[in-house]
Amino acid sequence: AQKITQTQPGMFVQEKEAVTLDCTYDTSDPSYGLFWYKQPSSGEMIFLIYQGSYDQQNATEGRYSLNFQKARKSANLVISASQLGDSAMYFCAMRVEISHGGSQGNLIFGKGTKLSVKP
Amino acid sequence: EAGVVQSPRYKIIEKKQPVAFWCNPISGHNTLYWYLQNLGQGPELLIRYENEEAVDDSQLPKDRFSAERLKGVDSTLKIQPAELGDSAVYLCASSFAGGTYEQFFGPGTRLTVL
């Protein structure tokens, strides 16, 4: 079964420090995509970063980087130089890229990690 | 460019009442998704449309939930009758066709069933 596991319900980080949010995934498909979304209290899911299963290099987007370790099936999000506005829920998600009964393109989400940035 | 629009943002109803949620995707996005997000959980897919066709509705509780996407643009998700356990956030997302593109999410509708 395809599954995303986020083991940290909550994390605290000091402003300007770096923080790593953990994500492990489970799939037997060779092709998949991994995403991180941010969900502030307003409720909207904001796309942060994407890593394809065949990408050789770790994805980076500004202060966000994805530490992709394929053998360990982990896709941790690293936020550098944390800002107060980074306080939010963070969700790791996996995209199904091989159709199983029409599921190609569907996202499977973890339970999320609540990040709190302290001034 | 306008994002995914959802209405209403908040809805409070009595149990056994019907309720409907509306979603207008980003222009040009043929794929539309409805997700259910329970408190403290990640979103779970309810139904996915490619244009007018529901290509994956395997997780939609069809005894009380229904959805439509007439003309392949706007979509409506309905619950009839609502139960206490339906209290949650209902998220709509859209993407370009084919399921290989990033999904853009709307702000969601927070439903409270009393």
Residue keyed to tokens 């229904």: B66
Closest Cα of chain A to B39: distance in Å?
Answer: 10
pLDDT for residue B100? 60
Q: What is the pLDDT of residues A68-107, one digit of tens each?
A: 999 999 999 999 999 999 999 999 999 877 666 666 778 9
- The C-alpha atoms of residue A15 and residue B13 are separated, in whole angstroms, by 41
Which residues of A make CB contacts under 8 Å with B?
4, 35, 37, 42-47, 50, 91, 93, 95-97, 101-107, 109-112
Question: What's the per-residue H, E or C state across A75-91?
Answer: EEEEECCCCHHHCEEEE
Q: Which residues contact A85 (CB under 8 A, 6 or more apart)?
A: A117
Nearest to A44 among B45, B56, B106 (CB): B106
Separation of alpha carbons B111 and A90, rounded Å: 22
Binary contact (B102, A47; C-beta < 8 A): yes
> How far is the C-alpha of A67 from the C-alpha of A75, rounded, in Å?
6
The share of chain A scoring above pLDDT 90, in percent, equals: 78
- Among A32, A107, A109, A113, pick the best mutation site for testing chain B contact (most B Cβ within 10 A): A107
Gap between the Cα atoms of A66 and B75, Å rounded? 34
Chain B residues in contact with A47 (beta carbon < 8 A): 102-104
**C-alpha distances out from residue A60 to A8, A48, A50, A55, A112, Å:** 22, 9, 9, 12, 20
Nearest to B42 among A102, A104, A110 (CB): A110
Segments of A24-63 assigned E as strands = 24-26, 32-39, 46-52, 60-61
Read off the pLDDT of each residue in B45-63 and give the average, rounded to a whole number. Answer: 91
Mean pLDDT of chain A: 92
How far is it between the farthest Cα atoms of chain B? Answer: 39
Taking CB atoms and an 8 Å cutoff, what residues of chain A touch B105?
A: 37, 44-46
Q: To probe the interface with A, which of B26, B34, B37, B96 has the most A CB atoms within 10 Å?
A: B37
The pLDDT value given to residue B42: 95
pLDDT at A35: 94
- Whose structure tokens read 């998704």? B33
Nearest to A115 by CA among A67, A70, A64: A64
Average pLDDT for residues B61-80, to the nearest whole number?
94
Higher pLDDT, B55 or A92: A92
Closest CA to B31 of B109, B107, B102, B108: B102
Q: Which residues of B touch A103 (CB under 8 A)?
A: 56, 58
- Over residues B72-106, the pLDDT tens digits come to 899 999 999 999 999 999 999 999 876 567 889 99
- pLDDT surpassing 70 at residue B1: no
SS3 content of chain A, % helix, strand, coil (to 5): 5, 50, 45
Does the beta-carbon distance from A37 to B48 stay under 8 Å?
no
Cβ count within 10 A of residue B104: 21
CA dihedral A9, A39, A59, B35 (to 10 degrees): 100
Instruction: Tell me what pLDDT residue A8 has.
Output: 96
